[in-house]
Amino acid sequence: MPTTPLPFERATVVGAGAMGIGIAQVLAQAGLHVCLYDTKEEALKRALGKLHSTLGRLVEKGRMTQEEVGALLARIQPILSLREAADSDIVIEAIYENIEAKRSVFTSLDDVVADHCVLATNTSSLSIASLTSGVKRPDRMIGLHFFNPAPLMPLVEIVPSLATDPAVVARCIAAVKAWGKVGVVVKDTPGFIVNRVARPYYAEAMNMVEEGLADVATIDWAMTHIGGFRMGPFALMDLIGHDINYTVTETVWKQFYYDPRFRPNLLQKRLVEAGWLGRKTGRGFYDYPSKASSPAPKEDPALGQVILERILALLVNEAADAHYKNIASMEDIETAMTTGVNYPQGLVSWGAAIGFGRLLSILESLQQLTGDPRYRPCPRLREWAQSSPLQ
């Protein structure tokens, strides 16, 4: 008879940045006692101060009571030494994307936590296997990729490495659900699901600008007003920050051995080089705080449909390839894209509605016209063009 995975009761979150304090809030709201670790006391004070302000606004809106806030904050203990994480059932590392720094965290934890403690990383782009180097118990390491802001975004990508114990996977699946999140299981592959499948949303939009098919405002208009996306690709890249978005693209591209499907775009690289990083610097594809100086979109429904279907053709092709390579189940791929990046609908069901044959034809025409292998259709899409995967 299968045993029920043991729940986590005590956790440590490493890193008091925006993601770290967000994860700490999620765990504390779920009833866990949480140690929040950072090397700098001022970082801990700043993080807890921001959390206090955030929770205060929830009280003002009637979403939490003052008593609930007090209880939540009491469950978060700031610490400056990892030794104080000794009794943790799980440690979630949420520091910056640097492989050596992350490895150092896990090798330090090896001699601190008990054997039953799960070691998790929140990395968005590094392989879990690469982070196990030098760790004594790679079987207890796993990826738990939260999305920012962690308290609001429902998705968590659960990423076992080749060495991860299946019991650890089962325990994390149960825990993510208990934390009120939606978990999807994905292979240890570059970009996991979301950051892999979503790359064309940005790249193909920039390709169309470079070709002169449409300008920034028109493409954003097409994707929001016709496609139903919450934000167009250019507004979204400005929000994310071009330094972050470009780095993720470049990392995925390199980890896929420079596959042209993931090739970064010079248009975005130039923005990074100029320091035009988006909203946080006041300028990116748009000028901020307002877009008043930006040109009005060309609201041409026919052109908008061309833009939408071209981007969708690449997105659906990437989702099909993730399924073809057994990166995740079709259900988890659909869930990841609707809950992780708020797509209007799952890409496979959307592709079926448009017609896989139509999307395949778009890719084949682009590949023939440009000679660019980024447009090569994947075998699964060709299969789907002949028989619906939803039957």
**Residues pairing with 336 in the sheet:** none
* Tokens linked to 294: 């930006």
Six token digits for residue 296: 């009005």
Q: Which of 363, 365, 355, 362 lies closest to 386 in space, CA to CA?
A: 355
Query: At 269, which helix (H) or strand (E)?
Result: helix 266-274
CB 94 within 8 A of CB 15: yes
Q: Fill in the DSSP letter of residue 67.
A: H
Q: Is 323 a catalytic residue?
A: no
90 three-class SS: strand
In this structure, which long-range contacts are made by residues 110-114, counting pairs with CB atoms below 8 Å and at least 24 apart in sequence? 110/135, 110/136, 110/137, 112/82, 112/83, 112/85, 112/86, 113/85, 113/86, 113/88, 114/86, 114/87
Selected catalytic residue, list 33, 52, 116, 145? 145
What tokens appear for 28 in the block?
């504390």
- Token pair listed for 275: 């320091």
Report which of 213, 171, 375 is spatially closest to residue 308, judged by C-alpha positions. 213
Do the Cβ atoms of 347 and 334 come closer than 8 Å?
Answer: yes
d(CA 382, CA 21): 44
Active site positions, annotated: 145
